[in-house]
Structure 1
Amino acid sequence: MKKDIEIPVVEKVYVAVVQELNKEHNEKDWVAYIINDQEVDLEMALIVSEGYSKTKKTTKFRHSIQNLPKKSYAKIELLQEQVFELNNLFYVTFFAEGKMYEKKYLFRKNTINEKALQDIPLMDVRGVLVK
């Protein structure tokens, strides 16, 4: 019976952490985004995020995005630099073309930093990307 269950593979949906200028405080903030690089809209996207290590764990945050149009992105949350010493997990579930998709995006501890910046698809900025 399990062999009959179709589990679709998530492609061209990413989570990125980028630096943005906070004009109010005149400093850079780290912000997580979900990126939809597909040719279809994502519906009812649910994102659960948490940081963890063997000895520490953050509170789980839950976010929802009703519709994420094709070739677009949306802000998930602001990240404090203290959580970069933890593994940061983003568990994403969404519907597309009548099917439910889910994927875990993991930023391993200390991988979110200025040395790891790369070009981010669709956003025209540099950041840290997990595919």
Structure 2
Amino acid sequence: MKDDIIIPEVKNVYIAIVNEYNDIYNTQDWNAYIINDKEVDLEMVLIVTSGYSKDKTTSVFRKKLDKLPKKSYAKIELMQEELFALNNTFKVSFFEGHTMFDKTYLFRKNTINLKALQPIPLMEAKGVLVK
């Protein structure tokens, strides 16, 4: 029975933690984004995030997007810098056509920092990217 289950590989969908200026509060903020670098729209995108370490666990955050258009991105959440000392997971599920895709993205503890910034696909910003 398990041999009949086909789990397709997720390609060209990324999670990025971006360091950007907040015009309203005049602060540098860290925001999590989902990026759809595919040539097709994603439908019913479900994102479940949490942070953990050996002795700490954060509450679970959930977000749903009805549609994430091709070659676009959407903000998931504001991230507090205290969370970067934890492993942060982003479990993403979505439909592409009639096929469901699922992937867990992991930002290991202390890997989100200013020294790790790199250009982010489709965004005119720098951040930390997990493919």
Shift of 1:124: 1.8
Q: CA deviation at 1:126?
A: 0.7
Q: Deviations over 1:47-84 (max 9, x none)?
A: 00001000000000000000000000000000000000
Whole-Å Cα distance in 1 between the matches of residues 27 and 62 of structure 2?
A: 26
Kindly report which structure 2 residues correspond to 1:24-103, keeping only aligned pairs within 5 A, or say none. Answer: 24-103=24-103
Q: Structure 2-normalised TM-score?
A: 0.98
Over 6 Å off, 4+ runs: none
Stretches of structure 1 that go unaligned for 5 or more consecutive residues are: none
Shift of 1:24: 2.3
SS of the aligned residue for 1:115 comes to helix
Displacement, 1:96?
Answer: 0.4
**Equivalent pair of 2:20/2:125 in contact (CA under 8 Å):** no
Shift of 1:21: 0.9
Q: Report the counterpart of residue 124 of structure 2 in structure 1.
A: 124
For 2:95 and 2:57, the matched residues in 1 are separated by 29
Q: Does the residue aligned with 1:7 lie in a helix, a strand or coil?
A: coil
- In the alignment, the residues of structure 1 paired with residue 26 and residue 50 of structure 2 have an alpha-carbon distance, to the nearest angstrom, of 27
Q: Give the counterpart letter for 1:30 in structure 2.
A: W
Q: Determine the C-alpha separation between the residues in 2 that align with 1:39 and 1:33.
A: 18
Name the SS of the counterpart of 2:115 in structure 1. Answer: helix
Q: Aligned partners of 1:122, 1:69: CA distance in 2, in Å?
A: 12
- Code of the residue aligned with 2:37 in structure 1: it is D
Q: Is the counterpart of residue 9 in structure 1 residue 9 in structure 2?
A: yes
Normalised TM-score (structure 1): 0.98
Q: For residue 18 of structure 1, what is the aligned residue in structure 2? A: 18
Aligned match of 2:110 = 110
